[in-house]
Chains A and B, each alone.
Chain A
Amino acid sequence: MKLLSPTFNSLEQALSAAALKQKVHSSNIANVDTPNYKSKQVDFQATLNGVLNNQPMASYKTDAKHISFGNSSSHTNPSIKVNNSTQYNTNGSNVDMDVEMAELAENQLWYNALTERVNGNLNSLRTVINGGR
């Protein structure tokens, strides 16, 4: 019997994606005055797809030759993209401080929300373990 639901796994991976995002934004903010630094960002769509694809889906098999879908084994790896497209500052770096700060705040909220959900999951599990008491 599996104690934790697949949702728990997804939440965990989303948490590490948020941690990586935090790291990338920290790096962008630290390097705002570095000449020729190009800002980086975490490819969120790839992360999301990775998390969604990673959810093990139950496939109804009537024949042994049927291929099961939903690969539960692959581990999602959010990629870091270098942004070379935007306008540069005079020193050649293209860090937009406003965007970085806004995304930092957003990411923090997202992380907190995920933590709440993990706690919620654990709490419902605890309720079950205690027999509804």
Chain B
Amino acid sequence: MSLFSGLNISASGLTANRLRMDVVSSNIANANTNRAKLVDGEWLPYRRKTVELSQMGVSPFEQKLQASLNKGSGQVSGVMASHIKEDNAPFVQTYDPTHPDANAEGYVLSSNVDPVKEMVDLMSATRSYEANVTALNASKGMFMKALEIGK
């Protein structure tokens, strides 16, 4: 039983939340990007991205099994970002026939990034990051204390 794996678990939380912040930054930076992806010769605007988190080293089957058994020793592990998903919400349409990217009907598609959602995600990621820092410091403090045994 080591304290170090406790530090690693907190570190995985820090990494995951840092990635969430990076993705939010990317979303906000690209909120006005009209040409993000070329599909069949046509430019598509930027799609909002979200991070999907999952427990480290635990398969979905194992999760379901443990949930249905409702008992037994749970596996203690960190968190990881399993993949970055794209938000399938429809693009925002604005009528602007003079715009170079306007389609035949005169509508311009722009990204589906909602700044309000991004700010909420950012706050959530920041708070989780801080909580992981606190846990890391607690583990570190305990480890330093253990080193003092026998002095």
**B interface majority secondary structure:** helix
Q: Is the CB of B132 within 8 A of A29?
A: yes
Q: Is the CB of A23 within 8 A of B6?
A: yes
Q: Is the CB of A30 within 8 A of B12?
A: yes
Q: Is the CB of B1 within 8 A of A34?
A: no
Question: With A26-B10, A38-B67 as given contacts, are A104 and B135 in contact (CB-CB < 8 Å)?
Answer: yes
Question: With A25-B135, A38-B67, A104-B134 as given contacts, are A19 and B1 in contact (CB-CB < 8 Å)?
Answer: yes
Within the complex, the shortest CB–CB distance from B10 to chain A, in Å, comes to 5
0/1 interface trace, chain B 106-136, chain A, CB 8 Å (1 if under): 0000000000000000001100100110111
Q: Whose C-beta in chain A lies nearest to the C-beta of B13? A: A30
Interface size of A by CB at 8 A reads 40
Segment touching A, from B25-33, B41-49, B73-81, B95-103 = B73-81
The answer to the question of B83 belonging to the interface, with a C-beta cut-off of 8 Å to chain A, is no
Q: Whose C-beta in chain A lies nearest to the C-beta of B69? A: A82
Which of B6, B52, B73, B146 is the one whose CB lies under 8 Å from A79?
A: B73
0/1 interface trace, chain A 95-112, chain B, CB 8 Å (1 if under): 001001100110110011
Within the complex, the shortest CB–CB distance from A77 to chain B, in Å, comes to 9
Complexed CA–CA distance, A18 and B146 (Å)? 12
- Residues of B contacting A31 in the complex (Cβ-Cβ under 8 angstroms): 13, 53, 55, 78-79
Q: Could you tell me which residues of chain B, from 9 to 26, have a CB within 8 Å of some CB in chain A?
A: 9-10, 12-13, 16-17, 20
Q: Is the CB of B3 within 8 A of A22?
A: yes
Interface size of B by CB at 8 A reads 47
Q: Is the CB of B70 within 8 A of A104?
A: no
- Residues of A contacting B63 in the complex (Cβ-Cβ under 8 angstroms): 36
Question: With A26-B139, A108-B138 as given contacts, are A19 and B149 in contact (CB-CB < 8 Å)?
Answer: no
Q: Is the CB of A27 within 8 A of B78?
A: yes
The answer to the question of B94 belonging to the interface, with a C-beta cut-off of 8 Å to chain A, is no
The answer to the question of B141 belonging to the interface, with a C-beta cut-off of 8 Å to chain A, is yes
- Residues of B contacting A38 in the complex (Cβ-Cβ under 8 angstroms): 66-67, 74
Q: Is the CB of B74 within 8 A of A23?
A: no
Q: Is the CB of A80 within 8 A of B76?
A: yes
A residues with a Cβ closer than 8 A to B are 15-16, 18-20, 22-27, 29-38, 40, 79-82, 84, 97, 100-101, 104-105, 107-108, 111-112, 115, 118-119, 122
Q: Can you list 23 A-B pairs, Cβ within 8 angstroms, ordered by A?
A: A19-B142, A26-B9, A26-B13, A26-B136, A26-B139, A27-B9, A27-B76, A29-B128, A30-B9, A31-B13, A34-B79, A36-B67, A38-B66, A40-B76, A79-B73, A80-B73, A81-B74, A84-B70, A104-B134, A111-B146, A112-B142, A115-B145, A119-B148
Kindly list 8 other residue pairs between chains A and B, CB separation below 8 angstroms, not including A23-B3, A26-B7, A105-B138.
A15-B146, A25-B135, A30-B12, A30-B16, A31-B55, A33-B128, A40-B76, A97-B131
